[in-house]
């Protein structure tokens, strides 16, 4: 039996998930990596509180990676859809929109509290 993960789901659109995706690829992981963020854009460093960002200037400066990073590194990014359910026994997360994503490993990197 092979215990190596093939599907990793990263939940959260912040620095932790973005850096986890980067590290997985840099360390040679070649399985499926899916990053799920409930916000409508790619991961960014929080909190973006500079005057420039609040005025709509320099927004790209807050993103963790350039716009093409995720495609270039084979990371599927699901934005604008939160994880609604985690089924550890089945190894799936289900988003609010109803998409079921398989996982062997799961990183919950959200700021939410239970």
Q: From 102, 96, 98, select the one nearest 76 (Cα to Cα).
A: 102
pLDDT in the model for residue 87? 97
The whole-model pTM stands at 0.82
> Angle at CA 72, nearest 5°, toward 63 and 52?
15
The Cα-based distances of 23 to 20, 27, 32, 52, 71 in angstroms read: 5, 6, 14, 30, 15
Give the pLDDT of the chain (114 residues) as one tens digit per residue. 457 889 999 999 888 999 999 999 999 999 999 999 998 888 877 665 566 666 666 555 677 788 888 999 999 999 999 999 999 999 999 999 999 999 999 999 876 544
């Amino acid at each position: 039996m092979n215990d190596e993960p093939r599907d990793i789901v990263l939940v959260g659109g912040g620095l932790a998930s973005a850096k986890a995706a980067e590290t997985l690829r840099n360390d040679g992981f070649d399985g499926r990596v899916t990053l799920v963020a409930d916000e409508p854009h790619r991961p960014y460093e929080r909190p973006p509180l500079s005057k420039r960002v609040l005025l709509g200037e320099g927004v790209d400066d807050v993103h963790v990676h350039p716009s093409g990073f995720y495609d270039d590194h084979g990371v599927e990014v699901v934005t604008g859809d939160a994880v609604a359910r985690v089924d550890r026994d089945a190894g799936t997360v289900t988003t609010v929109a109803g998409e079921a994503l398989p996982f062997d490993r799961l990183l919950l990197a959200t700021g939410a509290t239970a």
